[in-house]
């Protein structure tokens, strides 16, 4: 569906558009004729991704801006460097998933997963809001994770100071993002904004099931055959991008919805999911919002209409 959509006058930003699911999100959106801006913390990796997109999508309108979500003080300058009058959608895709037992912190002193994945996108949304409101019916698409489904937020320990396990802290940061995306939509609706916020997740998306896009990603010979049984359960990153791409392009999708892959939430075509039980807890969402505003010093607000 999305590849047939024509969106030549649209401008989209994809955070972490230089690699993985973000790369494929950008490639698929570029296929609609839209201008796609890759938010990337590495100019050489962004250049490689743009070359790969241009090789697949002749005439692709793609460019990049420097983006480091772990540096909250840099985000206003990133938005200024977009040099656009309006933004039709942003895909909050970038994410860190660390290994090891020792927590890492951003330069702002926040736990790295929570600080980058959640607080970085929370603050970025604040700076982007005037551009989104200047577009007609703009969308904010937040990429969550299936890993968050079995998690609960600890509002008294959002920075995992007393209970750091990399995998769990990552999953909680993704859950925080999903609460944010839903709470944001409630606030946009209350303000009568034309901007909407949709939450998606990519299922299980593995490099080894992902087609080559040199120089961004090269699948080794024989991997496709060896991984075929895994492909019955999980998918590649090109497929993992589809819920986000659909959420950007499909006008039938409404703010406040959750979309993920059809087959057990792990693979397959995008479909709408019922909100997971913990995500219906609006009090937790509101408390997280307030804590995020306190930690970042900003809070996304829509101009009241």
Contacts with ligand NAP by CB under 6 A lie at 15-16, 18-22, 41-42, 45, 67-70, 93-96, 116, 143, 145-146, 174, 201-202, 204-205, 237, 240
- Among the listed residues 12, 23, 170, 179, the single catalytic one is 170
Q: Which is nearer to ligand NAP, 191 or 224 (CB)?
A: 224
Shortest separation between residue 304's beta carbon and ligand NAP, angstroms? 31
**12 belongs to the catalytic site:** no
Q: Which is nearer to ligand NAP, 237 or 302 (CB)?
A: 237
Which residue number has the CB closest to ligand NAP? 20
Shortest separation between residue 71's beta carbon and ligand NAP, angstroms? 7
Contact yes or no for 19/45 (Cβ under 8 A): yes
Q: Which is nearer to ligand NAP, 177 or 193 (CB)?
A: 177
Contact yes or no for 73/81 (Cβ under 8 A): no
- Measured distance CA(43)–CA(86) in Å, rounded: 23
Q: Which is nearer to ligand NAP, 171 or 288 (CB)?
A: 171
Question: Based on the number of CB atoms within 10 Å of its own CB, is 41 exposed (0-12), middle (13-18) or buried (19 or more)?
Answer: middle
Encoded tokens for 202: 């990519």
Longest CA pairwise span in the chain (Å): 57
Shortest separation between residue 51's beta carbon and ligand NAP, angstroms? 15
Shortest separation between residue 28's beta carbon and ligand NAP, angstroms? 13
- Measured distance CA(47)–CA(220) in Å, rounded: 22
Q: Which is nearer to ligand NAP, 24 or 302 (CB)?
A: 24
Shortest separation between residue 45's beta carbon and ligand NAP, angstroms? 5
Catalytic residue positions, numbered: 170
């Amino acid at each position: 569906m999305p590849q047939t959509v024509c969106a030549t006058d649209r401008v989209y930003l994809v955070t972490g558009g230089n690699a993985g699911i973000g790369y494929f999100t950008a490639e698929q959106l570029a296929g609609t004729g839209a201008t796609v801006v890759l938010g990337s913390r590495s100019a050489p990796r962004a250049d490689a991704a743009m070359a790969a997109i241009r090789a697949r999508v002749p005439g692709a309108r793609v460019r990049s801006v420097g983006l480091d979500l772990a540096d909250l003080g840099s985000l206003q300058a990133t938005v200024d460097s977009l040099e656009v009058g309006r933004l039709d959608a942003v895909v909050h895709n970038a994410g860190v998933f660390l290994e090891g037992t020792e927590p890492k912190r951003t330069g702002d002193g926040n736990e790295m997963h929570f600080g980058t994945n959640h607080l970085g996108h929370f603050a970025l949304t604040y700076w982007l809001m005037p551009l989104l409101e200047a577009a007609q019916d703009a969308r904010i698409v937040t990429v969550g994770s299936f890993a968050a489904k079995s998690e609960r937020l600890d509002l008294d320990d959002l920075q995992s100071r007393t209970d750091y396990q990399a995998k769990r802290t990552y999953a909680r940061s993704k859950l925080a993002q999903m609460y944010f995306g839903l709470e944001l939509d409630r606030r946009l609706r209350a303000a009568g904004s034309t901007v909407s916020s949709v939450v998606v997740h990519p299922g299980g998306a593995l490099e080894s099931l992902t087609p080559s896009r040199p120089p961004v990603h090269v699948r080794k010979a024989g991997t496709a055959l060896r991984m075929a049984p895994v492909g019955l359960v999980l998918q590649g990153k090109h497929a993992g991008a589809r819920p986000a791409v659909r959420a950007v392009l499909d006008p039938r999708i409404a703010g406040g919805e959750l979309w993920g892959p059809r087959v057990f939430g792990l693979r397959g075509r995008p479909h709408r999911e019922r909100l997971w039980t913990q995500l219906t807890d609006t009090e937790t969402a509101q408390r997280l919002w307030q804590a995020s505003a306190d930690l970042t010093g900003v809070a996304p607000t829509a101009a009241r209409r």
